[in-house]
């Protein structure tokens, strides 16, 4: 259980912070809400107090005998400001202390995350961008706003990301506070990365397909964490029913052949390419144009052929010697085999630089929020690491960056 301050500043997106609060509480954390006076114009004290089960103050002059501005800052594990308005970012960047929230920001020893939300012009304004740089230079995590519908009828960059996205960022920072430094340092700025995600579908006829239970969550976590660290991110997604992480470009594909084609083009531009998807290894030798009908009591025999090995194709087509190619291995070792042995053989067979090894089975890994991985390179095994998929995604990027630095 961690102690979190949820700072809320005065934007229309304040209502979305209610769901972030619920998610943090659902994960067992104790959340104290510290709204600004302007935030209370959007969501009132009663809502915050009822949802958090804790008293809610905006001013340093409430409960003065408890010296709340110092006490709160010293006792917490995370401050998450969502939404962070242009005004709040400016006040935080200039070190103002004119309400309880800005006082807490100045006294906190823990990681601080800002999730900005404002109109596009305000976000793109040089003053706001300079404030973001200042806050990052002091170690704060600033989440990239989403693109979409804004308060009025217009659309653009500046939306508060979905609470599920914000929650994933919070969990990774709480599990491993050092991820905050990587995000604040924007250590992937200038890098182009491509990540494949999800499970492909191989159609037997217009309505039936062979598929698998990959949820796409690991690919999503890799994309989200790379955006957070400043990378330009392309996601090649096969049948993932989740909203795209803000700041990513998504190519939707369906079959292994589609994915192979799209990955081949996207990887040409990429500094790092990760095959986190589960492409089908086999596809029907022929696909019927019309729905296959039952005939009498007879069964149906399928004839399958192997699909393209996308990762091996990327390794063969690599022209940039500094490009890092990463594969995943989902293994179920038999009695005579070990997970590590199977992984090492696969690393050698595929010829990639890094293999992320995990054990799969019913309800293990696929669709789960937490997972366990071991990282394999030619130099040996690192790990195992366990935690949320965002925490593990940070570990994978760390290793990919360190391999790249050694090239
Ligand atoms: N992969 C790929 N193209 C395929 C199948 C898999 O690029 N047609 C990638 C996966 O995205 C993953 C890695 O290869 O990054 C290993 O996938 P896995 O299914 O574990 O291995 P396979 O290649 O299918 O090998 P095997 O069947 O021998 O275990």
CATH number of the domain encompassing residue 338: 3.40.50.10300
Span from the CA of 347 to the centroid of ligand 1 (angstroms): 11
Do both 32 and 152 map to the same domain? yes
Span from the CA of 369 to the centroid of ligand 1 (angstroms): 22
- Asked if 116 contacts 183 with a C-beta cutoff of 8 angstroms, the reply is no
Looking at residue 186, the DSSP 8-state letter turns out to be: T
Do both 65 and 178 map to the same domain? yes
Q: Which residues of the chain have pLDDT under 50?
A: 362
3-state secondary structure of 1: coil
* Sequence-separated (6 or more) residues with CB below 8 Å from residue 235: 194, 195, 196, 197, 219, 220, 223, 244, 245, 248, 249, 250, 251
CATH (domain of 26): 3.40.50.1950
Query: Which domain-ending residue is among 151, 185, 219?
Result: 185
Mutate to test the pocket of ligand 1, among 307, 327, 342, 356 (most ligand atoms within 8 A of CB): 327
Query: Which domain-ending residue is among 130, 163, 185?
Result: 185
Span from the CA of 308 to the centroid of ligand 1 (angstroms): 10
Query: Which domain-ending residue is among 168, 185, 202?
Result: 185
Do both 25 and 71 map to the same domain? yes
Ligand 1 atom nearest the C-alpha of 327 is 15
pLDDT the model gives residue 154: 83
Mutate to test the pocket of ligand 1, among 195, 276, 311 (most ligand atoms within 8 A of CB): 311
Do both 206 and 67 map to the same domain? no
Catalytic annotation, pick one of 103, 131, 212, 239 = 212
The neighbouring-strand residues paired with 112 are 79
Span from the CA of 309 to the centroid of ligand 1 (angstroms): 7
Mutate to test the pocket of ligand 1, among 310, 331, 361, 365 (most ligand atoms within 8 A of CB): 310
Nearest Cα residue to atom 23 of ligand 1: 309
Tell me the two tokens of residue 138. 């002091």
Q: How far apart are CA 243 and CA 102, in angstroms?
A: 32
User: Between the CA of residue 102 and those of 37, 41, 69, 99, 357, what are the distances in Å?
Assistant: 12, 18, 9, 6, 44
Q: Does the residue 293 lie in any domain? A: no
Nearest Cα residue to atom 17 of ligand 1: 329
Tell me whether residue 87 is exposed, middle or buried, using C-beta atoms within 10 angstroms of its C-beta: 0 to 12, 13 to 18, 19 or more: middle
Q: Does the residue 294 lie in any domain? A: no
Q: How far apart are CA 265 and CA 3, in angstroms?
A: 45
Do both 180 and 223 map to the same domain? no
Q: Is 212 annotated in the active site?
A: yes
Nearest Cα residue to atom 6 of ligand 1: 279
Ligand 1 atom nearest the C-alpha of 274 is 15
Provide the domain count of the chain: 2
pLDDT the model gives residue 74: 84
State the pTM of this model. 0.94
Nearest Cα residue to atom 25 of ligand 1: 346
Mutate to test the pocket of ligand 1, among 329, 330, 337 (most ligand atoms within 8 A of CB): 329
Span from the CA of 203 to the centroid of ligand 1 (angstroms): 19
Span from the CA of 253 to the centroid of ligand 1 (angstroms): 17
DSSP string, 62-102: TTGGG-HHHHHHHH-SEEEEEEE-HHHHHHHHTT--SSHHH
- What are the pocket residues of ligand 1 if the criterion is a CB atom closer than 6 Å to any ligand atom? 256, 275, 277, 279, 281, 307, 309-311, 327-330
CB neighbourhood size of 353 (10 A)? 21
Q: By residue range, what is the domain housing residue 149? A: 3-185
Nearest Cα residue to atom 24 of ligand 1: 281
- Asked if 295 contacts 185 with a C-beta cutoff of 8 angstroms, the reply is no
- Asked if 235 contacts 244 with a C-beta cutoff of 8 angstroms, the reply is yes
CB neighbourhood size of 316 (10 A)? 9
Ligand 1 atom nearest the C-alpha of 308 is 8
The neighbouring-strand residues paired with 361 are 364
Do both 49 and 74 map to the same domain? yes
Q: Does the residue 198 lie in any domain? A: yes
Q: Does the residue 297 lie in any domain? A: no
Q: Does the residue 391 lie in any domain? A: yes
Q: Does the residue 94 lie in any domain? A: yes
Do both 159 and 259 map to the same domain? no
Q: Does the residue 292 lie in any domain? A: no
Do both 242 and 95 map to the same domain? no
Ligand 1 atom nearest the C-alpha of 277 is 11
pLDDT the model gives residue 364: 53
Strands 155-159 and 146-149, sheet pairing: antiparallel
Q: Does the residue 295 lie in any domain? A: no
Do both 121 and 244 map to the same domain? no
Do both 163 and 203 map to the same domain? no
Do both 240 and 353 map to the same domain? yes
Do both 138 and 96 map to the same domain? yes
């Amino acid at each position: 259980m961690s102690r979190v301050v949820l700072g809320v500043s005065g934007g229309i997106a304040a209502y979305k912070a209610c769901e972030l609060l619920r998610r943090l509480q659902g994960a067992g954390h104790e959340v104290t809400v510290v709204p600004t006076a302007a935030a209370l114009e959007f969501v009132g004290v009663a809502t915050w107090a009822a949802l958090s089960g804790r008293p809610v103050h905006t001013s340093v002059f409430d409960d003065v005998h408890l010296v709340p501005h110092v006490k709160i800052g010293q006792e917490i594990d995370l401050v998450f400001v969502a939404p962070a308005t242009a005004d709040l970012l400016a006040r935080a960047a200039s070190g103002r202390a004119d309400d309880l929230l800005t006082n807490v920001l100045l006294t906190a020893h823990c990681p601080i995350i800002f999730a900005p939300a404002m109109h596009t012009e305000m976000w793109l304004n040089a003053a706001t961008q300079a404030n973001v740089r200042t806050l990052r230079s002091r170690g704060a995590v600033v989440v990239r706003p989403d693109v979409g519908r804004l308060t009025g009828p217009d659309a653009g960059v500046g939306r508060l990301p979905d609470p599920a996205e914000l929650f994933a960022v919070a969990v990774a920072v709480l599990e491993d506070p050092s991820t905050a430094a990587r995000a604040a340092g924007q250590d992937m700025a200038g890098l182009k990365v491509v990540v494949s995600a999800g499970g492909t579908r191989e159609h037997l006829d217009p309505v039936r397909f062979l598929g698998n239970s990959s949820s796409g969550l690991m690919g999503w976590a890799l994309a989200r964490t790379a955006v957070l660290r400043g990378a330009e991110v392309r996601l090649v997604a096969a049948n993932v029913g989740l909203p795209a992480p803000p700041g990513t470009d998504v190519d939707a594909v369906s079959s292994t052949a589609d994915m192979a084609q799209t990955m081949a083009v996207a990887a040409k531009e990429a500094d790092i390419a990760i095959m986190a998807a589960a492409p089908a290894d086999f596809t029907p030798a022929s696909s019927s144009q019309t729905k296959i009908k039952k005939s009498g009591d007879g069964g149906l025999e399928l004839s399958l052929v192997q699909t393209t090995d996308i990762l091996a194709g990327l390794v063969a087509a690599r022209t940039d010697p500094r490009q890092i190619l990463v594969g995943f291995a989902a293994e179920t070792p038999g009695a005579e085999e070990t997970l590590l042995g199977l992984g090492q053989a696969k690393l050698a067979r595929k010829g990639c630089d890094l293999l992320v090894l995990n054990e799969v089975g019913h309800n293990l890994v696929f669709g789960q929020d937490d997972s366990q991985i071991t990282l394999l390179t030619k130099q040996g095994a690192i790990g195992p690491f366990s935690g949320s998929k965002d925490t593990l995604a940070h570990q994978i990027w760390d290793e990919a960056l360190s391999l790249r630095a050694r090239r």
